[in-house]
Amino acid sequence: MSDLLKALTPTPTGWSNNTNYCKWKGISCDSSQSVTSIVLPSSSLSGTLPPNINCLTNLNHIDLHNNSLYGPLPSFYGLFFNLQTISLGHNNFTLVPAGCFYGIYDLRTLNLSNNLNLKNWVFPIKDLANSGSLHTLDLEATNMMGDLQSEMFDSFPNLHTFIISHNQIGGNLPQSLRKSAVRYLQLDNQGGYGIGGTIDVISSMSNLSQAWLHENSFTGRIPNMSKCTNLSDLQLQSNYLSGLVPPSLLALSSLNIISLDNNILQGPRPVFHKGVKATLEPNYFCRSDVGPCDSQVMILLEISEAFERPGLLLIKGNNACTGTDEQYPNRGLIRCERGKIVSIDLGICYQRELSLPHFPI
């Protein structure tokens, strides 16, 4: 504790070598005079944390978020069975050392969010693999990079909050999310290409309440969301999602807010329950008002669905045979006569047996 006293400026109120550290502001001790918590959030502190902080073997909680601490994080290796909370977000740390969180078996909360000066690092799955009690993980804006391992959530059966927004994460959504207990999922605003692939995984997350997946590179359809009966906040804007908005999403009674703008969604303009705050444009809906699409437009959309390529025939508007090139990017694939589709060139598609919709004569 003497090293911590020397490291922090200004000296926290009441801290002095002439006073028992168990009486210092923000410090708690057990009956044996061992430090159990260091809690000084938003205290305008600067300085570095001493590397021997892991000698406080009975430490349960360290909360120094929203200060101006800098330098490398200390290693918490050795605090295997007691440490439950690490809250060091909103500081200026520069490095997460290898093995920093290794073997902290009872860790419940890890928050390093908004340490913008951290050297690039990857998700510490090896360090946290035995932290099965972890329930809150917030690593937003920490210069994290790389892909998330497919089975990583199998190590966190109690995790309910997972936040890694504003990083440089790529790859696809981990399949282990399907059976996780996660309720609050924030993966938005990844730099570079971002996270891609489909969002099918979230359709199995029955505990999910909030999903922020915006500003990534997700593709494909919005899946059947009927199992997500607790979902209240869904942010999907600024991706490459296509196809029709599924009826199961419109039917969710728990939904309060949804953003679908800046995708390539098609078909009728979706209508959500009264009270749902929905942001829908721009997209490729057939009409700007509520109502059905023209039958020929719907047939083209059904063909796209049959090829499992919902963005194959992009149509913005409610007439398959007229409109500007912006409204109809794939004009060269379709030939019309007298306002009726007479041929569709699907030679760009791979050959497969399909059940295509019937065209009315």
pLDDT truncated to tens, each residue of the chain (361 aa)? 999 999 999 999 999 999 999 999 999 999 999 999 999 999 999 999 999 999 999 999 999 999 999 999 999 998 888 999 999 999 999 999 999 999 899 999 999 999 999 999 999 999 999 999 999 999 999 999 999 999 999 999 999 999 999 999 999 999 999 999 999 999 999 999 999 999 999 999 999 999 999 999 999 999 999 999 999 999 999 999 999 999 999 999 999 999 999 999 999 999 999 999 999 999 999 999 999 999 988 888 888 777 666 666 677 788 888 754 555 555 557 788 888 888 877 765 544 444 445 555 4
Residue found under tokens 């390529």? 309
Amino acid type, 209: S
Rounded Cα distance, 163 and 337, in Å: 53
> What is residue 309's predicted lDDT score, i.e. its pLDDT?
63
Tokens read off for 333: 């694939």
Amino acid type, 14: G
Q: Phi and psi dihedrals of 56, rounded to 5?
A: -80, 80
> What is residue 240's predicted lDDT score, i.e. its pLDDT?
96
87 closest CA partner among 57, 121, 112: 112
> What is residue 331's predicted lDDT score, i.e. its pLDDT?
54
For the chain, counts of helices (H) and of strands (E): 4, 25
Using an 8 Å Cβ cutoff, are 297 and 231 in contact?
no
Q: How does 300-332 read in b/e, with b if 16+ C-beta sit within 10 Å? A: bbebbbeeebbbbbbbbbbbbbeeeeeebbbbe
Count of C-beta atoms within a 10 Å radius of residue 59: 22
Which domains does the chain carry? 2-285 (3.80.10.10), 295-344 (no CATH)
DSSP H helical ranges for the chain: 2-7, 125-128, 247-250, 295-306
Using an 8 Å Cβ cutoff, are 107 and 128 in contact?
yes
> What is residue 360's predicted lDDT score, i.e. its pLDDT?
52
Q: How does 210-232 read in b/e, with b if 16+ C-beta sit within 10 Å? A: bbbbbbbebbbbbbebeebeebb
Rounded Cα distance, 117 and 94, in Å: 5
> What is residue 311's predicted lDDT score, i.e. its pLDDT?
60
